[in-house]
Amino acid sequence: MTSEFDLIGHIRSRVRTRDNVVLGIGDDAALLRVPPGHDLVVAMDTMNVGVHFPPDTDAASIGWKALAVNLSDLAAMGAQPTWCTLSLSLPESNAAWLDGFLDGFLALATQHDCALVGGDTTRGPLSICVTVHGLVPHGTALRRSGAQVGDDVWVTGTLGDAAVALAEWQRQSREALLHHSREDGNAGATALRHSLERANPASSSTLRHRLDRPTPRVEIGLALRNVATACIDLSDGLVQDLGHLLAASRVGALLDVGAIPGTAPRDARLAGGDDYELCFTAPPAHRDHLAALATRIGHIDAQPGLRLNDATPPPRGWDHFR
């Protein structure tokens, strides 16, 4: 059994520092220096087992996704990631699991030069809470509230893939559960796990990879400073998240459903969660150079609310408490 301090020591031995970290892991708190002329951008997101990722998700993917969903929030603000903190609640002190988790977490942290500077380690149901810090030059942060009538609506990447992967995982779980419901105790549980692993090898499925290893659109967020009028990242589905942007901007939008990128069915592209793509608005003058970064799916108008050009009502997005 490894102690809390062994676990923290191990984390500390694997992290890299960067500029403006005056003091990282090891004291009561970290000391960070915000360079002159910049605003500090802070975001936090929690991931709970069974709610934010399927229980069979590998440790490295959990580590990756815990940081990715947070970096996605910084991307949506147009911020350059700099530092992060990590609160880990673990059911047991498992050094091998922690190492796998850190493989995923630190691979993405290194990609974005985001230094892990502190955190907390406790015992409890598996839950990961990450805080990210980033920088923007004064006055250049992207917000949800700036969309203007006449702007185009854009999204990055493809939408709905993660929702399709999640639905497939749920279908396979139900099937495996039915199949093994007559076997007892541990033998049944082990057989269930094995058949899930066979049916769903995480690495062999591109869609599952979209669910487990989202790509935060940090570079695109930076390119949108002084270009986008409003921006939000898509965690709960396009309809719901764009709805937040429209409400904050006090405008409406008309979307061309057929233009929403991806191979997933209509409702998954419109309302599937967990994509971590960016949705933003920009004046038509930027069309030509934005076409290399994103897909244009509609435009902003003055009538509040979201309208679709195919006359079918929009599906609803994800709500934890509904």
Q: In whole angstroms, how close is the CB of 125 to ligand ADP at the nearest point? A: 16
Could you give the dihedral angle defined by the CA atoms of residues 282, 288, 294 and 299, in that order, rounded to the nearest 10 degrees?
40
Question: Segment near ligand ADP (CB under 6 A), from 44-52, 114-122, 271-279, 309-317?
Answer: 114-122
- Element holding 54 (H helix, E strand): none
Q: Does 32 bind ligand ADP (CB under 6 A)?
A: no
- The answer to whether residues 314 and 264 touch, using CB atoms and an 8 Å cutoff, is no
Neighbour-count burial for 190-223, b at 16+ CB within 10 Å, e otherwise = eebeebbeeebebeeeebbbbbbbbbbbbebbbb
List alpha helices for the chain, DSSP H: 4-14, 59-76, 95-111, 161-180, 185-199, 206-212, 218-223, 238-249, 266-271, 287-290
Q: In whole angstroms, how close is the CB of 27 to Mg ion at the nearest point? A: 8
Which lies closer to ligand ADP via its Cβ, residue 8 or residue 40?
8
Binding partner of residue 11 among Mg ion, ligand ADP, none, CB cut-off 5 to 8 Å per kind:
ligand ADP
Binding partner of residue 25 among ligand ADP, Mg ion, none, CB cut-off 5 to 8 Å per kind:
ligand ADP
Q: Which of residues 145-164 bind ligand ADP (CB under 6 A)?
A: none
Q: Which of 157, 132, 150 is closest to 264 using CA atoms?
A: 157
Q: Which of residues 118-137 bind ligand ADP (CB under 6 A)?
A: 118-121
Binding track, positions 24-53, relative to Mg ion; x by CB under 5 A: ----x-------------------------
Which lies closer to ligand ADP via its Cβ, residue 15 or residue 228?
15
Which 3 state secondary structure label does DSSP give 152? strand
Find the angle CA(258)-CA(264)-CA(268) to the nearest 5 degrees. 90
C-alpha–C-alpha distance, residues 184 and 186, integer Å = 7
Binding partner of residue 220 among ligand ADP, Mg ion, none, CB cut-off 5 to 8 Å per kind:
none
Binding partner of residue 104 among ligand ADP, Mg ion, none, CB cut-off 5 to 8 Å per kind:
none
Could you give the dihedral angle defined by the CA atoms of residues 35, 78, 249 and 237, in that order, rounded to the nearest 10 degrees?
-140
Of 19, 27, 92, 288, the one binding ligand ADP (CB under 6 A) is: 27
Q: Which of residues 73-92 bind ligand ADP (CB under 6 A)?
A: 86, 88
C-alpha–C-alpha distance, residues 84 and 133, integer Å = 6
Which residues contact ligand ADP (rule: CB under 6 A)? 8, 11, 25-28, 86, 88, 116, 118-121
